[in-house]
Amino acid sequence: MKFNAKDLALLARRPSGCFDKEGKLKICRVVGDEKLIEPRERWCRLKGNLLFLMKNKNRSLYLVEELITFPSACPSPAPDKIASKKSSEASEVVILERCWIVEFRSKTDVSIVLKFQSGEPDLYIEAASKPDCESWAVALGEANSEGLQNKIQQLRRLIMEIKEERSSDEARQFLPSSQIDSLGEPQFTSIQRIADEPKLEFSLACKDLVAATRDRKLNTFIQVSVVHPAEHILTRYSSTEIVEGTRDPLFLTGVTFPPEYPIYEETKIKLTVYDVKDKSQDTVCTSVLPDHKEPRADVGRSFLGCTTFRVGDLVKSKEQQLTLTLRTSDGGKTVGTIEVNLVKMGELEDGETDHITTDGQDQKCALVRECTTTEGISGKDNLPSLNAVLKNPICKLYRFPTSDNKWMRIREQMAETTLSFHVPKELINLHIKEDMRRNQELKDLGELAPHWDNMRKSVIAHCDQMLSMYQDTLAELGKHTGSSFKSSCSKGEKTLEFIPINLHLQRMHVHSPRLKDALYDVITVGAPAAHFQGFKNGGLRKLLSKFEAERRNTGYQCIYYSPENTAKAKEVLSNINHLQPLISSHADLLLNSASQHSPDSLKNSLKMLSEKTELFVHAFKDQLVRSALLALYTARPGCVLKKPAGPRNSAEEGGDLQHQDHPSQIKRQDSIPHHSEYDEEEWDRVWANVGKSLNCVIAMVDRLLEKDSISNIKEGENDPSAADCNVLHTGGDWYEQLYPLVITLKDCMGEVVTRAKQSMAFVLLQELACGLPQCLMLTLRRDIVFSQALAGLVCGFVIKLHTGLRDQGFLQQLHSVGLLVQYEGLLSTYSEEAGMLEDMAVGISDLQKVMFKVIEAKSEDFLPIITGRREHYIIEVQLPAKMFELLPQEIKEGKLLRMYPVLFNVGINEQQTLAERFGDTTLQENINQENLELLKEYYKLFTEKMPPDCLPHFQEQNDLKGLLENLHQNIQAKKRKNVEIMWLAATICRKLNGVRFTCCKSAKDRTSMSVTLEQCSILRDEHQLHKDFFIRALDCMRRCQQVIKQGFSVKILELRRIFFKYSEGISGAGSDLSSFPLLATQLLKL
């Protein structure tokens, strides 16, 4: 073998950064067991498969040489003495080819021997310490040319396998389509699983792992990669948790592939085992990037071994288990085995062993399966409608030991919801229609005096600007494509301000060997708040209070109406718009029945007409309408004014219009006079005419039916054929006699509608004029917050309805009492988060005015339908026919279902510490106290209308009344960061079949910490999780939650590919348990 001596000498003097490893070693030649000379210290440098033995043993000399020879690589100043060039040269170069390393088994021995196949004397190498010796042994072993050749051969084999698989695909393009179909090559074999269930799930365990050094305790995890048969690209998919201190790790985190994941029997899965050197610095992550090379060793982990298997081999295996051999990357050395166990949630996995402990070395469990026929939690029929709401699920699989040494399986699922965008778009569309209708009503007020007319023009101009903004926002949302949620980094975007932040379903499916399967759902969402508008002046709670005080006390040139009266005016207008077309249609049906001379149809039409007309008349039984008519009359131009009204005192100013007996007592400025010639009884006459007209119609119908009955009896006895002729003859008489009465009814109703609309529109004009532009900005802010809150509520209701569809007790509770919706807030009361909490409190409170209605779907579109107006929305949830038939008759008949939202907030982060020490926590205390009263009201209603046996059977051990009292005491205690409030409120909600929400600023760090702790606590309290495994189970879930939550909020679409390949990416920061010590320690004590 020939070498260029000059090149080798130059290579030996390269800077330190150019070498793979260097250091001081004692070296000598050995023949047999005898050393030819005593070991001599030399500075050794390893580059590739070349080991340079330098003449001098001091590293400083070579650093000096680097300064002289390579000044750009060493920018430090020149030394004061220069070593001779001779002393820095290599005395010997050892070529690491066809050689192997012999390690001594003694724990104290720090030497190795390098043996050569050529018969040359062995090279004795002695290091300064045992770790140094081990690192040199690994470096020399990897530098051996034989090892490199083995790696090259292994890669060549993989390339050939891929080429062979691709060759058939490439040849297919030259075949006719008929031959291609006959070959069936592109058709991969699907995995047959239950609909909407994961396609493949398996658990992992390793045995007899071999460490790089004999005495090292391994901290291992498995990275799972997928080779798709159509793409032949290795994609990192997921990873297990880290198991410390054992060569036989049993991993609690499994691998699951969701229903939509493109996995087939031909798909190959690669399992790579890593040893984490420093867990605190480990970055166990996954990526959608092709797995072209192994991770670098400098990231805190080292490669142990890998193996590959086909999915079809696992699915078709008799034992549903594969035992695979782990090998090094060159495919030569065996480093242990790995067990892959197919998992099905419908089967039991029993661990009959006494070695279930937290010690990693005693984690060997016998996995014996017993097939069971557990009934599914929810039927298959609900999949289409539920899939219309949920999408892109992310699943994680765990197996945890129980207290009786059995295994329970947990499938954790997080899913996006299409409602994040659907509900806000529907709401904005309703806002636009409502505002356009209001603007038209203001224009239809007619002629007004100059003062009021100018006011109207100003209001309409501002309203048109707001209307244009709503229309622009709706247009931008219509252009949105991509993910179906808003990430936390987008919370400040104006075009997305109506969209909730990180709205997701967090579901835990528990399969226990001793208990029935159970589902636990938590909706996670960022706190509903107007982030784009900011919180410089606080949130809605403060802004609304301040605005109302200014309206009451400032001398605006308009009439003051209380918020209650304004809301009443909106309700009257809504009733008019709803009832007037109904009454007209029923009146037409009545005439149609009269023309057909159908007594039964006539009776039914009259009944419906009477009911709607009575509702119509009742809607105007309010002093507000009469007072508003008087105010509108005085605002007309040219009216004769007798004398102005005197000033009102403060006591009168604070009165309620609904309790005033005289219209002249309306609250107004001195500029609004009372006209003495106004006929106060005119409205009563117009309003009463509707009822009188209806009575005339009823009397005429009764008379016609009575005459018809008598006539049929008489003429039928004499001549049946004559009776038939009489029917044809008198049909026209019925229509002719009813027609003028119906027209009169419509005319009277039209007169009432005209006057009532104008009077209520005048009330709304005062509300808008008194607070321009603050009033419209507050309305916008409230719409934004309500939109975010409603999207979450609709999502929670739909999921709860599907989950409890076969629970008759829950369905009875739903229509008899209503649904409890409990929000767990984790916001602090410091700085901007205090404003967020104020927004959130108002938004959740506004949900009390939302009603739900379940209808049968008439098409394949199962998305909810929203109708109504501000402060009065009805959400129509569509169900397929088979599911709709399962509902009680009351719900099927369209009974409106009430919601009872409650919010309990406890700040837990470092900002809350500042608020408690230097700020104010009154806001949080008031919110918790107010919502406690609402919760007590719901419980009282629940106990009055529901039997005691309707509660879940495994939760009867605790007394709800006692829990409420405990919650009351904790709220009154005003203890710092009292997380007991959150736990008690959540427990009460679950016991009352409620919907759970967990919210923080972005539904990311604090939310994931709270949800995982709640899940593990449920497993411990309800499903007998082994007490020694509580912390480890919490770590497993939090590790996955940390990755997933970051993904959903800041890195979602890229990280979704980590688990399921479907998404796009953005970036984010991580969370750490140390950031929440109080939350963790307090809740762990429960």
Active centre residues (catalytic): 1000
The amino acid sitting at 514 is: R
C-alpha closest to that of 208 among 242, 241, 248: 248
CB atoms within 10 A of CB 375: 10
- Confirm if 547 and 772 have CB atoms less than 8 A apart: no
- Secondary structure (DSSP) of 310-375: EHHHHHH-TTSEEEEEEE-TTS--EEEEEEEEE--TTEEEE---S--SS-GGG-----EEEE--PP
Q: How far apart are CA 999 and CA 826, in angstroms?
A: 6
Give the DSSP H/E element, type plus range, for residue 433.
helix 419-443
Tokens standing for residue 801? 């309805």
Q: Which residues contact 904 (CB under 8 A, 6 or more apart)?
A: 822, 823, 824, 825, 927, 928, 931, 932, 981, 982, 985
- Confirm if 952 and 515 have CB atoms less than 8 A apart: no
Pairing relationship of beta strands 518-526 and 995-1000 according to DSSP bridges: parallel
Tokens standing for residue 1060? 């399921």
Q: Which residues contact 186 (CB under 8 A, 6 or more apart)?
A: 169, 172, 180, 230
Q: How far apart are CA 673 and CA 664, in angstroms?
A: 9
Q: How far apart are CA 172 and CA 764, in angstroms?
A: 73
The amino acid sitting at 201 is: E
CB atoms within 10 A of CB 5: 10
- Confirm if 195 and 379 have CB atoms less than 8 A apart: no
Q: Strand, coil or helix: what is 748?
A: helix
Query: Within a 13 Å sphere around the CA of 384, how many CA atoms are in the beta-carbon half?
Result: 12
Tokens standing for residue 660? 């005033």
Tokens standing for residue 928? 């918790």
- Adjacent-strand bridge partners of 687: none
- Confirm if 519 and 508 have CB atoms less than 8 A apart: yes
Q: Which residues contact 216 (CB under 8 A, 6 or more apart)?
A: 275
Q: Strand, coil or helix: what is 1070?
A: coil
- Confirm if 939 and 960 have CB atoms less than 8 A apart: yes
- Secondary structure (DSSP) of 436-485: HHHHHHHHTT----HHHHHHHHHHHHHHHHHHHHHHHHHHHHHT--S-SS
Distance of alpha carbon 428 from its chain centroid, rounded? Answer: 22
C-alpha closest to that of 377 among 390, 386, 364: 386
Tokens standing for residue 406? 């059995």
What residue spans of 173-238 are helical by DSSP H?
Answer: 177-183
Q: What are phi and psi of 2, to 5 degrees?
A: -105, 140
Total H helices, total E strands in the chain? 29, 29
